Amino acid sequence: MQRPTYSPERISIAIGLCVVMVSALPRYMVGGHETRQTLLLIALAFVAGAAVLQWRMLPVSARQYLPSLIKRLLAMMVLGVLIMGGWHTLFTAWISWQVFISHAATCGLLLHAVSLGWQKRET
C-alpha cells in the first residue's frame, strides 16, 4: 500500500524546518557569511512554498489535524530550548545567543520528527 504523498505531519516538519532556517540566519549575519545567508533564504522560500502547496492539496479532514501538530511542534521547540540550555550550561562555555537559538530550534525539530515517527508506529 502506497503512503499518501501529502500529510499534515510532513507539513508540520516543513514548518519546523522553516523555523530552523530562520533561527540560523542571525549566525550568518554576525559571521559575515552573506553567500550562505542568501542560499539559506532561497532554501527557506522553496521549503515554505512546498509547505503551502502541500497544505492546499490536503483534504479538509487532514487540514483540521494540522493545528494540533503545530502546537506539538511549539512544545517540542520549547523542550529543545530547555535541553540545549541545560546542555550548554553543563558542558560548554557560553556561546553566542545566535548559536544557542539555532541549536535549540534544531533540537526541537528533531524531537518533533522523532516523536511523530514513534506515534505512527504505535498506532
Confidence of residue 1 (pLDDT cuts 50, 70, 90): low
Domain housing 60: 8-122
The whole-number pLDDT of residue 42 equals: 97
At 90-113, the pLDDT tens digits run 988 878 899 999 999 999 999 999
- pTM, two decimal places: 0.88
- Whether 3 is in a domain gets the answer no
Q: What is the pLDDT of residues 40-87, one digit of tens each?
A: 999 999 999 999 999 999 999 899 999 999 999 999 999 999 999 999
Cell of 119: 506515534
Contacts of 120 (CB under 8 A, 6+ apart): 9
Residue 114 lies in a domain: yes
How confident is the model at residue 76, as a pLDDT? 97
Question: End-to-end alpha-carbon separation of the chain, Å?
Answer: 17
Provide the number of structural domains found in the chain.
1
